[in-house]
Structure 1
Amino acid sequence: MIRRLLALVAALTLTLPSPAAAYGVYGHEAIARIAMRNVAPATRSRALALLRQARLLETPGCAAATPEHASTWPDCIRAMGARFSYTSPWHYQNVDICQPFDLESACADGNCVSAQVDRQVELLKNRTIPVREKVAALAFLIHFVGDLHMPLHAGDRGDRGGNDVKASYGAYTTDWLNLHSIWDTPLAERAITTPPDPVRAYSEQERAVLGSGTTKDWSREAWAVSRDVAYAQALGGDPCGPKPTGRIEYTNAAIEASIDAEKQQVVRAGLRLARLLDEALDPANAFTPQRRRR
Protein backbone atom coordinates (compact mmCIF):
# COMPACT_ATOMS: atom_id res chain seq x y z
CA MET A 1 0.00 0.00 0.00
CA ILE A 2 2.66 2.53 1.07
CA ARG A 3 4.88 1.78 -1.92
CA ARG A 4 1.91 2.19 -4.28
CA LEU A 5 1.03 5.53 -2.69
CA LEU A 6 4.57 6.80 -2.90
CA ALA A 7 4.80 5.74 -6.53
CA LEU A 8 1.69 7.82 -7.21
CA VAL A 9 3.24 10.82 -5.47
CA ALA A 10 6.36 10.40 -7.60
CA ALA A 11 4.32 10.37 -10.78
CA LEU A 12 2.49 13.55 -9.80
CA THR A 13 5.70 15.27 -8.78
CA LEU A 14 7.39 14.51 -12.07
CA THR A 15 4.49 15.52 -14.31
CA LEU A 16 3.04 18.62 -12.65
CA PRO A 17 4.53 22.06 -12.02
CA SER A 18 4.95 23.22 -8.41
CA PRO A 19 3.05 23.46 -6.18
CA ALA A 20 1.97 19.83 -6.69
CA ALA A 21 -1.67 18.96 -7.20
CA ALA A 22 -3.60 19.25 -3.95
CA TYR A 23 -4.92 15.94 -2.64
CA GLY A 24 -3.70 14.13 -5.73
CA VAL A 25 -6.11 12.09 -7.82
CA TYR A 26 -7.54 10.06 -4.95
CA GLY A 27 -8.41 13.03 -2.76
CA HIS A 28 -9.92 15.15 -5.50
CA GLU A 29 -12.08 12.26 -6.67
CA ALA A 30 -13.25 11.56 -3.11
CA ILE A 31 -14.29 15.21 -2.72
CA ALA A 32 -16.21 15.06 -6.01
CA ARG A 33 -17.99 11.87 -4.91
CA ILE A 34 -18.95 13.36 -1.54
CA ALA A 35 -20.39 16.38 -3.33
CA MET A 36 -22.37 14.29 -5.80
CA ARG A 37 -23.82 12.23 -2.93
CA ASN A 38 -24.99 15.39 -1.17
CA VAL A 39 -26.29 17.73 -3.86
CA ALA A 40 -29.97 17.98 -4.75
CA PRO A 41 -31.01 15.42 -7.39
CA ALA A 42 -31.71 18.22 -9.88
CA THR A 43 -28.24 19.66 -9.31
CA ARG A 44 -26.66 16.28 -9.99
CA SER A 45 -28.59 15.95 -13.23
CA ARG A 46 -27.58 19.44 -14.38
CA ALA A 47 -23.92 18.88 -13.50
CA LEU A 48 -23.82 15.57 -15.36
CA ALA A 49 -25.56 17.18 -18.35
CA LEU A 50 -22.85 19.82 -18.52
CA LEU A 51 -20.02 17.33 -18.17
CA ARG A 52 -21.45 15.24 -21.01
CA GLN A 53 -20.39 18.16 -23.21
CA ALA A 54 -16.78 18.08 -22.03
CA ARG A 55 -15.67 17.47 -25.63
CA LEU A 56 -16.23 21.20 -26.16
CA LEU A 57 -13.14 21.84 -24.02
CA GLU A 58 -10.99 20.30 -26.78
CA THR A 59 -8.57 18.72 -24.34
CA PRO A 60 -8.60 15.10 -25.56
CA GLY A 61 -5.70 14.13 -23.31
CA CYS A 62 -7.46 15.48 -20.23
CA ALA A 63 -10.88 13.98 -19.56
CA ALA A 64 -13.67 15.89 -17.81
CA ALA A 65 -16.80 13.93 -18.69
CA THR A 66 -17.49 12.71 -15.15
CA PRO A 67 -17.27 14.51 -11.78
CA GLU A 68 -14.23 12.40 -10.89
CA HIS A 69 -12.46 13.25 -14.15
CA ALA A 70 -13.47 16.90 -13.86
CA SER A 71 -11.97 17.01 -10.37
CA THR A 72 -8.47 16.49 -11.81
CA TRP A 73 -8.91 18.17 -15.21
CA PRO A 74 -7.45 21.51 -14.00
CA ASP A 75 -4.25 19.74 -12.96
CA CYS A 76 -4.08 17.73 -16.17
CA ILE A 77 -4.29 20.80 -18.40
CA ARG A 78 -1.36 22.45 -16.60
CA ALA A 79 0.87 20.05 -18.52
CA MET A 80 -0.45 21.44 -21.84
CA GLY A 81 1.90 24.41 -21.78
CA ALA A 82 1.07 27.95 -22.83
CA ARG A 83 -2.63 27.32 -23.46
CA PHE A 84 -3.37 27.00 -19.74
CA SER A 85 -0.23 28.27 -18.02
CA TYR A 86 -2.09 31.34 -16.76
CA THR A 87 -4.14 29.10 -14.43
CA SER A 88 -1.18 27.98 -12.29
CA PRO A 89 -1.58 30.67 -9.56
CA TRP A 90 -5.26 29.79 -9.23
CA HIS A 91 -4.53 26.57 -7.33
CA TYR A 92 -3.17 28.00 -4.07
CA GLN A 93 -2.81 30.99 -1.75
CA ASN A 94 0.09 30.44 0.59
CA VAL A 95 -0.50 32.80 3.51
CA ASP A 96 2.31 33.02 6.08
CA ILE A 97 1.31 30.86 9.05
CA CYS A 98 3.66 32.78 11.36
CA GLN A 99 1.98 36.13 10.74
CA PRO A 100 -1.60 37.33 11.27
CA PHE A 101 -3.93 35.87 8.64
CA ASP A 102 -3.77 38.09 5.54
CA LEU A 103 -5.64 36.66 2.57
CA GLU A 104 -5.69 39.86 0.54
CA SER A 105 -1.91 39.93 0.10
CA ALA A 106 -1.99 36.39 -1.29
CA CYS A 107 -4.78 37.17 -3.77
CA ALA A 108 -3.49 39.98 -5.95
CA ASP A 109 -5.71 40.47 -9.01
CA GLY A 110 -7.79 37.41 -8.10
CA ASN A 111 -4.89 35.04 -8.74
CA CYS A 112 -5.55 32.73 -5.82
CA VAL A 113 -7.73 29.73 -5.17
CA SER A 114 -10.41 31.34 -2.99
CA ALA A 115 -11.01 34.12 -5.52
CA GLN A 116 -11.24 31.53 -8.29
CA VAL A 117 -13.80 29.47 -6.38
CA ASP A 118 -15.98 32.57 -6.16
CA ARG A 119 -15.32 33.37 -9.82
CA GLN A 120 -16.30 29.92 -11.11
CA VAL A 121 -19.58 30.06 -9.17
CA GLU A 122 -20.40 33.39 -10.80
CA LEU A 123 -19.51 32.04 -14.24
CA LEU A 124 -21.86 29.10 -13.75
CA LYS A 125 -24.63 31.54 -12.84
CA ASN A 126 -23.95 33.81 -15.80
CA ARG A 127 -26.63 33.48 -18.49
CA THR A 128 -24.50 35.02 -21.23
CA ILE A 129 -21.48 32.74 -21.44
CA PRO A 130 -21.34 29.76 -23.83
CA VAL A 131 -21.64 26.15 -22.72
CA ARG A 132 -17.93 25.51 -23.24
CA GLU A 133 -17.10 28.12 -20.60
CA LYS A 134 -19.70 26.67 -18.23
CA VAL A 135 -18.16 23.21 -18.56
CA ALA A 136 -14.72 24.65 -17.77
CA ALA A 137 -16.13 26.63 -14.84
CA LEU A 138 -17.72 23.48 -13.42
CA ALA A 139 -14.49 21.50 -13.67
CA PHE A 140 -12.49 24.36 -12.16
CA LEU A 141 -14.98 24.72 -9.32
CA ILE A 142 -14.92 21.01 -8.45
CA HIS A 143 -11.14 21.07 -8.39
CA PHE A 144 -10.53 24.41 -6.71
CA VAL A 145 -12.79 23.70 -3.75
CA GLY A 146 -10.51 20.73 -3.09
CA ASP A 147 -7.40 22.86 -3.48
CA LEU A 148 -8.81 25.49 -1.13
CA HIS A 149 -9.16 22.90 1.64
CA MET A 150 -5.70 21.38 1.23
CA PRO A 151 -3.80 22.96 4.15
CA LEU A 152 -0.50 23.26 2.29
CA HIS A 153 -2.26 25.30 -0.41
CA ALA A 154 -3.57 27.66 2.25
CA GLY A 155 -0.66 28.39 4.57
CA ASP A 156 3.10 28.02 4.53
CA ARG A 157 6.39 29.55 5.68
CA GLY A 158 7.65 30.94 2.39
CA ASP A 159 8.54 27.41 1.29
CA ARG A 160 6.16 26.95 -1.66
CA GLY A 161 3.49 25.25 0.38
CA GLY A 162 5.93 22.86 2.01
CA ASN A 163 7.46 21.77 -1.30
CA ASP A 164 10.84 22.97 -0.06
CA VAL A 165 10.60 20.98 3.19
CA LYS A 166 12.16 17.62 2.35
CA ALA A 167 10.57 14.92 4.46
CA SER A 168 10.19 11.20 4.94
CA TYR A 169 6.81 9.56 5.40
CA GLY A 170 7.45 7.45 8.44
CA ALA A 171 10.31 5.15 7.45
CA TYR A 172 9.87 5.80 3.72
CA THR A 173 11.85 8.44 1.92
CA THR A 174 12.87 9.47 -1.59
CA ASP A 175 14.53 12.52 -3.10
CA TRP A 176 11.18 14.00 -4.17
CA LEU A 177 9.13 13.43 -1.03
CA ASN A 178 8.34 16.60 0.95
CA LEU A 179 5.82 18.01 3.41
CA HIS A 180 3.48 19.11 0.63
CA SER A 181 3.47 15.79 -1.20
CA ILE A 182 2.89 13.91 2.07
CA TRP A 183 -0.35 15.84 2.71
CA ASP A 184 -1.14 15.72 -0.98
CA THR A 185 -1.28 11.98 -1.48
CA PRO A 186 -0.17 9.31 1.03
CA LEU A 187 -1.60 11.03 4.09
CA ALA A 188 -4.77 11.99 2.20
CA GLU A 189 -5.34 8.42 1.03
CA ARG A 190 -4.56 7.07 4.50
CA ALA A 191 -7.14 9.45 6.00
CA ILE A 192 -9.82 8.78 3.40
CA THR A 193 -9.48 5.00 3.71
CA THR A 194 -9.47 5.01 7.52
CA PRO A 195 -13.01 4.13 8.71
CA PRO A 196 -15.58 5.54 8.74
CA ASP A 197 -15.83 6.08 5.00
CA PRO A 198 -16.22 9.84 4.37
CA VAL A 199 -17.91 9.27 1.01
CA ARG A 200 -21.54 9.03 2.06
CA ALA A 201 -24.78 10.97 2.28
CA TYR A 202 -24.72 13.36 5.23
CA SER A 203 -27.68 14.55 7.26
CA GLU A 204 -29.27 17.91 6.63
CA GLN A 205 -27.84 19.14 9.92
CA GLU A 206 -24.33 17.92 9.06
CA ARG A 207 -24.52 19.62 5.68
CA ALA A 208 -25.73 22.84 7.26
CA VAL A 209 -22.97 22.91 9.87
CA LEU A 210 -20.02 21.66 7.83
CA GLY A 211 -21.07 23.40 4.62
CA SER A 212 -21.49 26.85 6.10
CA GLY A 213 -19.20 29.84 5.72
CA THR A 214 -17.50 31.80 2.95
CA THR A 215 -14.36 31.19 0.97
CA LYS A 216 -12.54 33.56 3.32
CA ASP A 217 -13.75 31.55 6.32
CA TRP A 218 -12.61 28.33 4.66
CA SER A 219 -9.26 29.88 3.77
CA ARG A 220 -8.61 30.89 7.37
CA GLU A 221 -9.64 27.43 8.56
CA ALA A 222 -7.29 25.60 6.17
CA TRP A 223 -4.50 28.05 7.02
CA ALA A 224 -4.96 27.19 10.71
CA VAL A 225 -4.78 23.45 9.95
CA SER A 226 -1.55 24.08 8.04
CA ARG A 227 -0.09 25.84 11.08
CA ASP A 228 -1.53 23.81 13.93
CA VAL A 229 -1.33 20.34 12.40
CA ALA A 230 0.84 20.06 9.29
CA TYR A 231 3.76 22.26 10.33
CA ALA A 232 3.35 21.61 14.05
CA GLN A 233 3.54 17.85 13.55
CA ALA A 234 6.38 18.14 11.05
CA LEU A 235 8.50 20.43 13.24
CA GLY A 236 8.08 18.81 16.62
CA GLY A 237 5.28 20.98 17.96
CA ASP A 238 6.43 24.50 17.07
CA PRO A 239 5.19 25.45 13.59
CA CYS A 240 7.15 28.71 13.64
CA GLY A 241 10.37 27.38 15.11
CA PRO A 242 13.68 27.27 13.25
CA LYS A 243 13.35 26.22 9.64
CA PRO A 244 14.75 22.76 8.99
CA THR A 245 18.03 22.65 7.12
CA GLY A 246 17.81 19.03 6.06
CA ARG A 247 15.27 16.28 5.58
CA ILE A 248 12.76 15.91 8.41
CA GLU A 249 10.83 12.83 9.41
CA TYR A 250 7.03 12.97 9.38
CA THR A 251 6.90 10.29 12.02
CA ASN A 252 4.34 7.54 12.41
CA ALA A 253 3.06 9.40 15.46
CA ALA A 254 2.69 12.58 13.37
CA ILE A 255 0.85 10.64 10.68
CA GLU A 256 -1.61 9.23 13.23
CA ALA A 257 -2.10 12.69 14.75
CA SER A 258 -2.85 14.20 11.32
CA ILE A 259 -5.40 11.70 9.99
CA ASP A 260 -8.50 13.27 11.55
CA ALA A 261 -7.61 16.79 10.38
CA GLU A 262 -6.87 15.57 6.86
CA LYS A 263 -10.14 13.63 6.67
CA GLN A 264 -12.11 16.56 8.07
CA GLN A 265 -10.77 18.83 5.35
CA VAL A 266 -11.84 16.35 2.67
CA VAL A 267 -15.36 16.11 4.13
CA ARG A 268 -15.63 19.88 4.49
CA ALA A 269 -14.54 20.30 0.89
CA GLY A 270 -17.09 17.79 -0.39
CA LEU A 271 -20.03 19.27 1.50
CA ARG A 272 -19.10 22.84 0.69
CA LEU A 273 -18.72 21.93 -2.96
CA ALA A 274 -22.21 20.39 -2.81
CA ARG A 275 -23.60 23.64 -1.40
CA LEU A 276 -21.90 25.76 -4.06
CA LEU A 277 -23.12 23.48 -6.84
CA ASP A 278 -26.70 23.68 -5.54
CA GLU A 279 -26.43 27.46 -5.57
CA ALA A 280 -24.64 27.79 -8.91
CA LEU A 281 -26.78 25.30 -10.85
CA ASP A 282 -30.14 26.46 -9.54
CA PRO A 283 -32.34 27.12 -12.61
CA ALA A 284 -33.34 30.41 -11.01
CA ASN A 285 -29.77 31.51 -11.64
CA ALA A 286 -28.45 30.65 -15.07
CA PHE A 287 -27.99 26.97 -15.79
CA THR A 288 -28.69 25.65 -19.25
CA PRO A 289 -27.26 22.38 -20.60
CA GLN A 290 -27.86 23.36 -24.21
CA ARG A 291 -26.05 25.65 -26.59
CA ARG A 292 -27.74 29.03 -26.75
CA ARG A 293 -28.68 30.22 -30.19
CA ARG A 294 -27.38 33.58 -31.26
Structure 2
Amino acid sequence: MRKLILPLILLSITSPAFAWGPIGHRVTGAIADRNLSGVARANVQLLLGDEDLAQAATWPDDMKSDPADFWQKQASPWHYVTVREGDAYTSADAPPEGDAMSALARFTATLRDPAASMDDKRLALRFVVHIIGDLHQPLHAGGGNDRGGNDMKVSWFGRSTNLHSVWDSAMIEQRSLSYSELADWLARAITPQQIIAWNVRDPGTWIRESIALRKTIYPTDTSLSWDYAYQHRVELDDRLKRGGIRIAAYLNWVFENPQDQNPSQAQTPRKPARHK
Protein backbone atom coordinates (compact mmCIF):
# COMPACT_ATOMS: atom_id res chain seq x y z
CA MET A 1 0.00 0.00 0.00
CA ARG A 2 1.50 3.27 -1.08
CA LYS A 3 1.97 6.19 1.24
CA LEU A 4 -0.90 8.65 1.12
CA ILE A 5 -0.18 12.35 1.36
CA LEU A 6 -3.11 14.22 2.83
CA PRO A 7 -4.09 17.87 2.88
CA LEU A 8 -2.80 19.61 5.95
CA ILE A 9 -6.31 20.52 6.96
CA LEU A 10 -6.91 16.89 7.91
CA LEU A 11 -4.09 17.14 10.40
CA SER A 12 -5.28 20.31 12.09
CA ILE A 13 -5.61 20.65 15.83
CA THR A 14 -9.39 20.51 15.60
CA SER A 15 -9.36 16.84 14.63
CA PRO A 16 -10.01 14.47 17.57
CA ALA A 17 -8.74 11.40 15.74
CA PHE A 18 -4.99 11.82 15.75
CA ALA A 19 -2.35 11.09 18.34
CA TRP A 20 0.76 13.25 18.38
CA GLY A 21 0.29 15.49 15.36
CA PRO A 22 2.59 14.96 12.39
CA ILE A 23 5.35 17.10 13.90
CA GLY A 24 5.34 15.22 17.19
CA HIS A 25 5.40 11.81 15.53
CA ARG A 26 8.19 12.86 13.17
CA VAL A 27 10.19 14.16 16.13
CA THR A 28 9.98 10.79 17.91
CA GLY A 29 10.90 9.01 14.68
CA ALA A 30 13.87 11.29 14.01
CA ILE A 31 15.20 10.84 17.55
CA ALA A 32 14.77 7.09 17.21
CA ASP A 33 16.66 7.11 13.90
CA ARG A 34 19.70 8.56 15.67
CA ASN A 35 19.72 5.78 18.27
CA LEU A 36 19.27 2.62 16.20
CA SER A 37 21.85 -0.11 16.44
CA GLY A 38 23.61 -1.25 13.30
CA VAL A 39 21.51 -4.41 13.04
CA ALA A 40 18.24 -2.54 13.61
CA ARG A 41 19.18 0.14 11.08
CA ALA A 42 19.94 -2.49 8.45
CA ASN A 43 16.58 -4.16 9.03
CA VAL A 44 14.74 -0.83 8.88
CA GLN A 45 16.44 0.05 5.60
CA LEU A 46 15.66 -3.40 4.23
CA LEU A 47 11.96 -2.79 4.87
CA LEU A 48 11.62 0.94 4.22
CA GLY A 49 14.33 1.71 1.68
CA ASP A 50 14.87 5.47 1.56
CA GLU A 51 11.99 6.14 3.96
CA ASP A 52 13.30 7.01 7.41
CA LEU A 53 11.55 6.58 10.76
CA ALA A 54 10.38 10.19 10.79
CA GLN A 55 8.41 9.49 7.61
CA ALA A 56 7.21 6.09 8.81
CA ALA A 57 5.99 7.52 12.11
CA THR A 58 3.04 9.39 10.58
CA TRP A 59 1.94 6.71 8.12
CA PRO A 60 -0.79 5.03 10.24
CA ASP A 61 -2.39 8.46 10.75
CA ASP A 62 -2.02 9.36 7.08
CA MET A 63 -3.92 6.22 6.15
CA LYS A 64 -6.96 7.09 8.27
CA SER A 65 -8.60 8.62 5.20
CA ASP A 66 -8.46 5.30 3.35
CA PRO A 67 -12.09 4.09 3.16
CA ALA A 68 -11.18 0.41 3.57
CA ASP A 69 -12.69 -1.32 6.60
CA PHE A 70 -9.19 -2.16 7.83
CA TRP A 71 -8.47 1.54 8.39
CA GLN A 72 -11.93 2.79 9.27
CA LYS A 73 -12.94 0.05 11.72
CA GLN A 74 -10.29 -2.50 12.63
CA ALA A 75 -7.21 -0.29 13.01
CA SER A 76 -8.94 2.74 14.50
CA PRO A 77 -8.54 1.73 18.21
CA TRP A 78 -4.88 0.77 17.84
CA HIS A 79 -3.66 4.27 18.75
CA TYR A 80 -4.58 4.34 22.44
CA VAL A 81 -5.32 2.35 25.58
CA THR A 82 -7.97 2.82 28.25
CA VAL A 83 -7.20 2.30 31.93
CA ARG A 84 -10.38 2.91 33.90
CA GLU A 85 -9.11 1.91 37.32
CA GLY A 86 -5.67 2.20 38.87
CA ASP A 87 -2.47 2.88 36.96
CA ALA A 88 -1.70 -0.54 35.50
CA TYR A 89 -2.93 -1.59 32.07
CA THR A 90 -5.16 -4.60 31.63
CA SER A 91 -6.90 -5.71 28.46
CA ALA A 92 -10.34 -5.63 30.09
CA ASP A 93 -11.23 -2.20 28.69
CA ALA A 94 -9.97 -2.86 25.17
CA PRO A 95 -12.56 -2.93 22.36
CA PRO A 96 -13.06 -6.14 20.33
CA GLU A 97 -10.60 -4.90 17.68
CA GLY A 98 -7.88 -4.57 20.32
CA ASP A 99 -5.97 -1.46 21.35
CA ALA A 100 -2.46 -0.03 21.13
CA MET A 101 -1.07 -2.63 23.52
CA SER A 102 -2.47 -5.66 21.74
CA ALA A 103 -1.64 -4.20 18.32
CA LEU A 104 1.96 -3.61 19.40
CA ALA A 105 2.23 -7.26 20.42
CA ARG A 106 0.72 -8.45 17.12
CA PHE A 107 2.94 -6.28 14.95
CA THR A 108 6.02 -7.25 16.94
CA ALA A 109 5.19 -10.89 16.23
CA THR A 110 4.87 -10.06 12.53
CA LEU A 111 8.29 -8.40 12.45
CA ARG A 112 9.79 -11.53 13.98
CA ASP A 113 7.92 -14.00 11.79
CA PRO A 114 10.27 -15.37 9.10
CA ALA A 115 7.23 -16.41 7.07
CA ALA A 116 5.64 -12.93 7.03
CA SER A 117 5.73 -11.08 3.72
CA MET A 118 7.74 -7.91 3.21
CA ASP A 119 4.51 -5.95 2.85
CA ASP A 120 3.19 -7.23 6.18
CA LYS A 121 6.50 -6.51 7.88
CA ARG A 122 6.59 -3.01 6.41
CA LEU A 123 3.09 -2.36 7.74
CA ALA A 124 4.12 -3.78 11.12
CA LEU A 125 7.23 -1.61 11.37
CA ARG A 126 5.32 1.58 10.60
CA PHE A 127 2.71 0.72 13.20
CA VAL A 128 5.27 -0.18 15.87
CA VAL A 129 7.00 3.18 15.43
CA HIS A 130 3.68 5.00 15.53
CA ILE A 131 2.16 3.13 18.47
CA ILE A 132 5.18 3.65 20.71
CA GLY A 133 4.95 7.36 20.02
CA ASP A 134 1.21 7.29 20.78
CA LEU A 135 1.71 5.61 24.14
CA HIS A 136 3.96 8.48 25.23
CA GLN A 137 1.20 11.03 24.67
CA PRO A 138 -0.43 11.23 28.11
CA LEU A 139 -3.98 11.45 26.79
CA HIS A 140 -3.55 8.22 24.83
CA ALA A 141 -3.67 6.40 28.16
CA GLY A 142 -7.13 7.72 28.97
CA GLY A 143 -9.36 6.96 31.92
CA GLY A 144 -12.33 6.08 29.75
CA ASN A 145 -14.46 9.05 30.82
CA ASP A 146 -13.77 11.76 28.24
CA ARG A 147 -12.30 10.07 25.14
CA GLY A 148 -8.75 10.94 26.14
CA GLY A 149 -9.44 14.65 26.63
CA ASN A 150 -11.40 15.04 23.39
CA ASP A 151 -14.50 15.91 25.39
CA MET A 152 -12.59 18.45 27.51
CA LYS A 153 -13.41 21.66 25.64
CA VAL A 154 -10.87 24.45 25.98
CA SER A 155 -9.74 27.53 24.10
CA TRP A 156 -6.16 27.84 22.88
CA PHE A 157 -5.13 31.45 22.44
CA GLY A 158 -8.81 32.21 21.90
CA ARG A 159 -9.48 29.36 19.46
CA SER A 160 -12.02 26.69 20.42
CA THR A 161 -10.51 23.19 20.58
CA ASN A 162 -10.08 20.39 23.11
CA LEU A 163 -7.39 19.28 25.52
CA HIS A 164 -6.41 16.29 23.43
CA SER A 165 -5.66 18.49 20.43
CA VAL A 166 -3.67 20.89 22.59
CA TRP A 167 -1.33 18.05 23.52
CA ASP A 168 -1.32 16.42 20.09
CA SER A 169 -0.36 19.49 18.12
CA ALA A 170 -1.13 22.92 19.50
CA MET A 171 1.67 23.18 22.07
CA ILE A 172 4.15 21.79 19.56
CA GLU A 173 3.07 23.99 16.67
CA GLN A 174 3.00 27.07 18.92
CA ARG A 175 6.80 27.02 18.93
CA SER A 176 6.98 27.53 15.13
CA LEU A 177 9.71 24.94 14.62
CA SER A 178 9.95 22.34 11.88
CA TYR A 179 10.05 18.73 13.02
CA SER A 180 13.74 18.51 12.15
CA GLU A 181 14.57 21.65 14.15
CA LEU A 182 12.65 20.43 17.18
CA ALA A 183 14.10 16.92 16.92
CA ASP A 184 17.61 18.36 16.72
CA TRP A 185 17.06 20.60 19.74
CA LEU A 186 15.62 17.78 21.82
CA ALA A 187 18.15 15.14 20.70
CA ARG A 188 21.08 17.38 21.64
CA ALA A 189 19.58 17.79 25.12
CA ILE A 190 19.37 14.04 25.79
CA THR A 191 22.23 12.91 28.02
CA PRO A 192 23.94 9.50 27.92
CA GLN A 193 22.56 8.89 31.41
CA GLN A 194 19.02 9.48 30.14
CA ILE A 195 19.49 7.14 27.19
CA ILE A 196 20.53 4.40 29.63
CA ALA A 197 17.72 5.16 32.09
CA TRP A 198 15.04 5.36 29.39
CA ASN A 199 16.08 2.10 27.71
CA VAL A 200 12.83 0.51 28.84
CA ARG A 201 11.06 -1.83 26.42
CA ASP A 202 8.04 -2.64 28.58
CA PRO A 203 4.99 -0.74 27.27
CA GLY A 204 3.37 -1.10 30.68
CA THR A 205 6.00 1.29 32.03
CA TRP A 206 5.35 3.82 29.25
CA ILE A 207 1.62 3.68 30.00
CA ARG A 208 2.09 4.18 33.75
CA GLU A 209 4.23 7.24 33.04
CA SER A 210 1.59 8.64 30.70
CA ILE A 211 -1.19 8.05 33.23
CA ALA A 212 0.78 9.80 35.97
CA LEU A 213 1.29 12.83 33.73
CA ARG A 214 -2.28 12.77 32.42
CA LYS A 215 -3.59 13.23 35.95
CA THR A 216 -1.73 16.55 36.26
CA ILE A 217 -2.57 18.28 32.96
CA TYR A 218 -6.30 18.97 33.21
CA PRO A 219 -6.63 22.74 33.71
CA THR A 220 -8.99 24.47 36.12
CA ASP A 221 -9.17 27.45 33.76
CA THR A 222 -10.11 26.32 30.25
CA SER A 223 -8.74 29.47 28.57
CA LEU A 224 -5.25 28.25 27.71
CA SER A 225 -2.35 30.25 26.35
CA TRP A 226 1.21 31.14 27.38
CA ASP A 227 0.89 30.12 31.02
CA TYR A 228 -0.28 26.61 30.21
CA ALA A 229 2.33 26.15 27.48
CA TYR A 230 5.10 27.31 29.81
CA GLN A 231 3.86 25.11 32.66
CA HIS A 232 3.89 21.90 30.59
CA ARG A 233 6.59 22.44 27.96
CA VAL A 234 9.27 20.51 29.85
CA GLU A 235 6.86 17.60 30.35
CA LEU A 236 5.86 17.56 26.69
CA ASP A 237 9.49 17.65 25.57
CA ASP A 238 10.28 14.83 27.99
CA ARG A 239 7.59 12.61 26.49
CA LEU A 240 8.81 13.28 22.95
CA LYS A 241 12.40 12.50 23.93
CA ARG A 242 11.47 9.34 25.80
CA GLY A 243 9.23 8.23 22.95
CA GLY A 244 12.10 8.54 20.48
CA ILE A 245 14.57 6.71 22.69
CA ARG A 246 12.06 3.93 23.38
CA ILE A 247 11.24 3.45 19.68
CA ALA A 248 14.94 2.85 19.07
CA ALA A 249 15.32 0.64 22.15
CA TYR A 250 12.32 -1.46 21.12
CA LEU A 251 13.46 -1.89 17.52
CA ASN A 252 17.01 -2.70 18.65
CA TRP A 253 15.54 -5.41 20.87
CA VAL A 254 13.19 -6.75 18.17
CA PHE A 255 15.85 -7.11 15.52
CA GLU A 256 18.82 -8.10 17.67
CA ASN A 257 17.00 -10.60 19.90
CA PRO A 258 14.35 -12.23 17.70
CA GLN A 259 13.73 -15.09 20.14
CA ASP A 260 13.24 -12.98 23.27
CA GLN A 261 9.88 -13.02 24.98
CA ASN A 262 7.58 -10.07 24.37
CA PRO A 263 7.99 -7.59 27.27
CA SER A 264 4.22 -7.32 27.66
CA GLN A 265 2.22 -10.41 28.55
CA ALA A 266 -1.10 -8.56 28.59
CA GLN A 267 -2.31 -10.41 25.52
CA THR A 268 -0.96 -13.25 23.43
CA PRO A 269 0.40 -11.84 20.18
CA ARG A 270 -1.60 -12.62 17.09
CA LYS A 271 -0.94 -11.75 13.48
CA PRO A 272 -2.99 -8.74 12.34
CA ALA A 273 -5.67 -9.30 9.73
CA ARG A 274 -4.44 -8.63 6.23
CA HIS A 275 -5.24 -5.20 4.89
CA LYS A 276 -6.54 -4.45 1.44
Number of aligned residues: 247
Cα distance change on mapping 1:276 and 1:110 into 2, 3 Å: farther
Letter in 2 for 1:197: W
Deviation at 1:13, TM superposition (A): 4.9
1:92 aligns with 2:80: yes
1:42 aligns with 2:28: no
2:252: which partner in 1?
278
4+ aligned runs moved over 6 Å, structure 1 = none
1:119 aligns with 2:93: no
Secondary structure of 1:161 counterpart: coil
Whole-Å separation in 1 of the counterparts to 2:258 and 2:162: 46
Whole-Å separation in 2 of the counterparts to 1:83 and 1:157: 24
Secondary structure of 1:23 counterpart: coil
One of 211, 235, 242 as aligned partner of 2:220: 235
Q: TM-score, normalised by structure 2?
A: 0.79
Whole-Å separation in 2 of the counterparts to 1:114 and 1:103: 9
Question: What root-mean-square deviation, in Å, do the aligned CA atoms of Structure 1 and Structure 2 show?
Answer: 2.9
Deviation at 1:196, TM superposition (A): 8.2
1:1-294 counterparts in 2 under 5 A?
A: 11-13=10-12, 18=16, 20-52=17-49, 65-81=51-67, 82-85=69-72, 86-96=74-84, 99-104=85-90, 105-108=92-95, 111-156=98-143, 158-169=145-156, 171-174=157-160, 177-190=161-174, 197-200=185-188, 202=190, 204-228=192-216, 230-231=217-218, 234-235=219-220, 248-282=222-256
Identity between Structure 1 and Structure 2 (%): 28
Secondary structure of 1:185 counterpart: helix
Cα distance change on mapping 1:152 and 1:15 into 2, 3 Å: closer
Give yes or no for contact 2:28–2:183 (8 Å, CA) kept in 1.
no
Whole-Å separation in 2 of the counterparts to 1:280 and 1:211: 13
Give yes or no for contact 1:34–1:200 (8 Å, CA) kept in 2.
no
1:289: which partner in 2?
none
Q: TM-score, normalised by structure 1?
A: 0.75
Cα distance change on mapping 1:140 and 1:73 into 2, 3 Å: same
Whole-Å separation in 2 of the counterparts to 1:72 and 1:146: 10
Cα distance change on mapping 1:213 and 1:51 into 2, 3 Å: closer
Unaligned residue ranges in structure 2 (runs of 5+): 1-6, 261-276
CA displacement 1:157-180 (0-9 Å, x = unmatched): 6111111112112x3313xx1111
Unaligned residue ranges in structure 1 (runs of 5+): 1-6, 54-64, 237-247, 287-294
2:270: which partner in 1?
none
Letter in 1 for 2:141: A
Whole-Å separation in 1 of the counterparts to 2:43 and 2:194: 24
Letter in 1 for 2:220: L
Larger Rg computed on CA atoms: 1
Deviation at 1:45, TM superposition (A): 2.5
